[in-house]
Amino acid sequence: MPIKFLATNQNLEISSISQNLLFVFTCKPDSKFLSAQTQHLESQKSNLEKFDAKVLFVTNQEIETQNPDLVLDSEGELVGLSENLNSKNFGQNLIVLRKTDSGFEHLETKTDPEDSSDWIEAVVYFAQNYKDSEPDGEYYKWGQIVPEGGEYLCKDCGYILELEEGKIFPICEVCLAGEPSGPSTSKEGYWERV
């Protein structure tokens, strides 16, 4: 079954998405998370356009809705692009994808993002950070591209992570720096080369 927009019943061809970054939020269509993030999205659409990014909300449940950004992906095609999830995992997740010549490739997956946090603002900062190669002082932010492979230290908790050149700086898995409610948010730098 093809991916389709639930509000219009129109099919969505992933290859027709022109934006460079695609943020896919998987969720249940009646969730508090979807409701909260949809409200945040309305005020951030122009910022997403400015950074060549798009947000889609994805579910595997067919329902009637007026939400123009909610799509049905009953086969899990979009979820299957994540390296960390299987195609049937329709819990609450954020999958970050980058457009390439051959389609979209996986950059990052955040499982179980908090309902109460503004993840739309966080992905806008990710998109901004992705285009910015300069550190925030001496610290790199969530979504920036790793300029040189090696070990990086999280300034907030001291966790050291080995990162490859060309990958992106992730959310710190220990203290959650980079998350909207983390000790450093997605608009602040927290990874330092050691």
Answer yes or no: is pLDDT of 6 > 70. yes
pLDDT for 155? 98
Instruction: Name the nearest CA neighbour of 119 among 61, 58, 39.
Output: 39
Enumerate the domain spans of the chain. Answer: 1-131, 133-194
Q: Which residues contact 5 (CB under 8 A, 6 or more apart)?
A: 12, 68, 70, 71, 72
pLDDT for 96? 97
Which CATH number applies to 1-131?
3.40.30.10
CA distance 119 to 112: 11
Q: How confident is the model at residue 54 (pLDDT cuts 50, 70, 90)?
A: very high
CA distance 103 to 77: 12
**Total-model pTM:** 0.94
What mean pLDDT comes out for the span 81-98?
Answer: 84
Gyration radius from the chain CA atoms: 16
Output the CA–CA distances (angstroms, integers) from residue 112 to 25, 26, 116, 117, 147, in the order listed: 10, 10, 12, 11, 29
Rounded to the nearest 10 degrees, the angle between the axes of helix 119-131 and helix 32-50 is: 30
Q: How confident is the model at residue 86 (pLDDT cuts 50, 70, 90)?
A: confident
Average pLDDT over the chain reads 94
C-beta separation of 143 from 129 below 8 A: yes
CA distance 179 to 156: 12
Q: How confident is the model at residue 84 (pLDDT cuts 50, 70, 90)?
A: confident
What mean pLDDT comes out for the span 85-114?
Answer: 89
pLDDT for 89? 64
Q: Amino acid letter at 121?
A: E
pLDDT for 83? 82
Would you say the C-alpha torsion 69, 36, 91, 20 has a positive or negative sign?
positive
C-beta separation of 121 from 180 below 8 A: yes
Answer yes or no: is pLDDT of 88 > 90. no
17-179-37 Cα angle (round to 5): 50
Instruction: Name the nearest CA neighbour of 179 among 190, 165, 168.
Output: 190
What mean pLDDT comes out for the span 34-46?
Answer: 94
What mean pLDDT comes out for the span 189-193?
Answer: 97
CA 172 to chain CA centroid, nearest Å: 15
Answer yes or no: is pLDDT of 16 > 70. yes
Answer yes or no: is pLDDT of 33 > 70. yes
Q: How confident is the model at residue 100 (pLDDT cuts 50, 70, 90)?
A: very high
Output the CA–CA distances (angstroms, integers) from residue 151 to 30, 85, 104, 117, 176, in the order listed: 42, 26, 28, 29, 18
